[in-house]
């Protein structure tokens, strides 16, 4: 239910039905709050621990040579998946300071592989996109600084087949439903699709349902990550 400015003014002019207006507002708030709770519940009902996910996918809990990773990053998982796949072609959406980027590049360097990352340009913010990527890894990396809807088709033109992808940018339902099929179609058979924060909405669930895919879901420090093997 949408509470518009017009309807708010309409109710404000009618003190006799303020209670009705209050009910409408409460319902709208409830709807907004309930949606994420629902997708969180779905994730919780399917989630395993990160250790179990790693055991299932790479046969051990693994290690990552990149030091000082923050708790919120999936760097350990991403590095080990890239190593397990012996990946040489990876696309990720969403870089920020570049923790996931650095983990991917550390693995790709072992095979002279390549990572293409996308992120929106943001010259006025305190964070430099990819500032954690050291100089010696830069040669394996290409950053396209545009929103996904422009950058992803470009990335896929440059790298039409991929071994792995990591979706960690636009967290809206529409953003995910735009990018997921593009990435999935480019993924080679046996490749691995990873999406972070899948409890934001039902996009990951719907994508898997629509294609009849069986995802793995793991609880991370605060959220849920979804993984699909093609």
From the CB of 145, what's the least distance to ligand SAM, in Å?
Answer: 9
Choose between 59 and 174: whose C-beta lies nearer to ligand SAM: 174
Four-residue CA torsion sign, 132, 68, 224, 77: positive
Burial class (CB in 10 A: 0-12, 13-18, 19+), 24: middle
Task: Tell me the CA end-to-end span of the chain in Å, nearest whole number.
Answer: 38
Closer to ligand SAM by Cβ: residue 95 or 208: 95
Q: Quick one: which of 80, 88, 106, 169 contacts ligand SAM (CB under 6 A)?
A: 169
CB of 132 closer than 8 Å to CB of 101: yes
- The single residue among 83, 148, 163, 200 that binds ligand SAM, judged by CB under 6 A, is 148
By the rule CB under 6 A, 120 interacts with ligand SAM: yes
Q: Which sign, positive or negative, has the C-alpha torsion 71, 108, 49, 188? A: positive
Q: Can you tell me which of 80, 118, 195, 220 binds ligand SAM, judged by CB under 6 A?
A: 118
Alpha-carbon distance of 159 to 212, in angstroms, equals 26
> Is residue 73 at the binding interface for ligand SAM, with CB under 6 A as the rule?
yes
Residues 100, 106, 107, 195: which binds ligand SAM (CB under 6 A)? 100
Q: How many CB atoms within 10 Å of residue 156?
A: 18
Q: Which residues bind ligand SAM (CB under 6 A)?
A: 73, 93-96, 99-100, 118-120, 147-148, 168-170, 175
């Amino acid at each position: 239910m949408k509470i518009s400015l017009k309807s708010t003014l309409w109710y404000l002019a009618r003190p006799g039905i303020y209670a009705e207006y209050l009910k409408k507002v409460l319902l709208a708030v409830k709807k907004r709050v309930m949606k994420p709770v629902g997708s969180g519940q779905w994730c919780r009902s399917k989630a395993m621990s990160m250790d179990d996910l790693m055991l299932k996918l790479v046969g051990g809990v693994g290690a990552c040579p990149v030091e000082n990773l923050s708790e919120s990053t999936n760097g350990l998982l991403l590095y080990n998946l890239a190593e397990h796949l012996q990946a040489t072609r990876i696309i990720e959406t969403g870089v920020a300071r570049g923790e996931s980027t650095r983990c991917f590049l550390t693995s790709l360097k072992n095979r002279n592989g390549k990572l293409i990352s996308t992120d929106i340009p943001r010259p006025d913010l305190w964070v430099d996109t990819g500032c954690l990527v050291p100089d010696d890894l830069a040669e394996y990396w290409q950053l396209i600084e545009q929103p996904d809807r422009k950058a992803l088709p470009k990335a896929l033109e440059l790298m039409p087949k991929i071994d792995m992808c990591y979706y960690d940018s636009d967290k809206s339902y529409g953003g995910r439903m735009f990018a997921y099929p593009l990435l999935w179609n480019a993924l080679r058979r046996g490749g691995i699709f990873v999406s972070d924060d899948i409890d934001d909405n039902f996009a990951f669930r719907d994508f898997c349902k629509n294609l009849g895919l069986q995802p793995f879901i793991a609880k991370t420090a605060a959220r849920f990550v979804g993984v699909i093997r093609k």
